[in-house]
């Protein structure tokens, strides 16, 4: 059984095409999960709506706790890391990470950045070798195959890799770097563009993205087969 961790980061609670001012990124991520479950209903899905219920920002107490060896942590330190531990556990358990996110002002929403900060943890998702001053970090989520699917909604146009406005897009590059740091390097990105243009441009972009999501589900299910399965 594969395990999907589904995260939505949009501040908009509704779905585009259904709700007024609904979210296009939520539309894509939910389309992915529905398509997946239509042929593999046995696969588990854990859902986090961080757009509506954002993770906590890291604090002084969090930092002090995270960088104290586990066997030396006081009770208050364990409490300070409880939320982070839960988010890390969900990520470790997953086979496929599905992130639906808008591009806000050239980067990721604050809620998604808070999630990233909570799941990058020394000795939980990243090993640290203090004797290696050249490159002390080693990703820990490499023991089995994992995929990340990043489903993006952009207001602008031509912001994909190699396109005219790519230099203004710091969302996907940031996520790719963060996920690769913990060991998730099989990353697939699909985007809807043109929300600020609207009309035919947006409609065609939505249709293309929807087709790509359906194709990606088929490709991943064929590629994973039983190899990406985890015990129930």
What domains, with CATH codes, occur in the chain? 3-224 (3.40.50.360)
Buried b / exposed e along 183-219 (16+ C-beta atoms within 10 A) = bbeebbbbbbbbbeeeeeebeebbeebbebbeebbee
**What residues are designated binding site?**
10, 23-25
Helix (H, G, I), strand (E, B), or coil: what is residue 23? strand
What confidence score (pLDDT) does residue 19 get? 84
**φ, ψ dihedrals at 199, nearest 5°:** 60, -145
Which two tokens mark 115? 């999630």
Q: Could you tell me the pTM of the whole model? A: 0.93
Residue, of 195 and 75, whose pLDDT is higher = 75
Angstrom distance (rounded) from CA 9 to CA 99: 8
pLDDT at position 132, please? 87
Of 41, 40, 14, the closest CA to residue 25 belongs to: 14
Which region holds residue 100: left if phi is over 0, alpha if psi is between -120 and 50, else beta? beta
What pLDDT was estimated at residue 40? Answer: 95
Q: Which is more confidently placed, 158 or 225?
A: 158
Per-residue pLDDT band at 231 (split at 50, 70, 90): very low
How many angstroms separate the CA atoms of 82 and 10, rounded? 24
- The predicted-structure confidence for 98-115, as pLDDT tens digits, reads as follows 999 999 999 999 999 999
Kindly report the number of other CB atoms within 10 A of residue 177's CB atom.
10
Structure tokens at 221: 């299910």
8 A C-beta contact, residue 2 and residue 43: yes
Q: How many CB atoms lie within 10 A of CB 171?
A: 24
| Residues facing residue 122 across a β-bridge | 126
pLDDT tier at 225, thresholds 50, 70, 90: confident
| Binding-site annotation: residue ranges for FMN | 10, 23-25
CA distance 21 to 32: 21
- Average pLDDT for residues 2-19, to the nearest whole number? 93
Q: Given the structure tokens 């939910």, which residue do they identify? A: 30
| Residue 78 in this model has a pLDDT that exceeds 60 | yes
Task: Kindly state the tokens that stand for 94.
Answer: 């997953």
């Amino acid at each position: 059984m594969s395990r999907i961790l589904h995260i939505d980061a949009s501040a908009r609670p509704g779905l585009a095409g259904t709700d007024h001012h609904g979210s296009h990124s939520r539309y894509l991520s939910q389309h992915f999960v529905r398509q997946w479950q239509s042929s593999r209903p046995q696969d588990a899905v854990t859902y986090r709506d961080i757009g509506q219920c954002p993770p906590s920002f890291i604090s002084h107490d969090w930092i002090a706790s995270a960088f104290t060896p586990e066997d030396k942590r006081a009770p208050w330190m364990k409490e300070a890391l409880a939320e982070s531990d839960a988010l890390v556990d969900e990520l470790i358990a997953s086979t496929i990470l599905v992130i639906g996110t808008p591009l806000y002002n050239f980067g990721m929403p604050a809620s998604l950045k808070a999630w990233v900060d909570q799941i990058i943890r020394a000795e939980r998702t990243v090993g640290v070798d203090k004797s290696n001053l050249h490159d002390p970090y080693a990703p820990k989520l490499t023991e089995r195959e994992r995929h990340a699917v990043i489903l993006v909604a952009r207001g602008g146009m031509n912001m994909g890799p190699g396109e005219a406005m790519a230099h203004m897009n710091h969302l996907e590059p940031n996520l790719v770097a963060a996920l690769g740091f913990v060991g998730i390097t099989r990353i697939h990105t699909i985007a809807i563009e043109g929300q600020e243009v609207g009309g035919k441009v947006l409609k065609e972009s939505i249709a293309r993205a929807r087709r790509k999501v359906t194709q990606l589900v088929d490709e991943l299910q064929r590629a994973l087969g039983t190899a990406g399965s985890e015990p129930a």
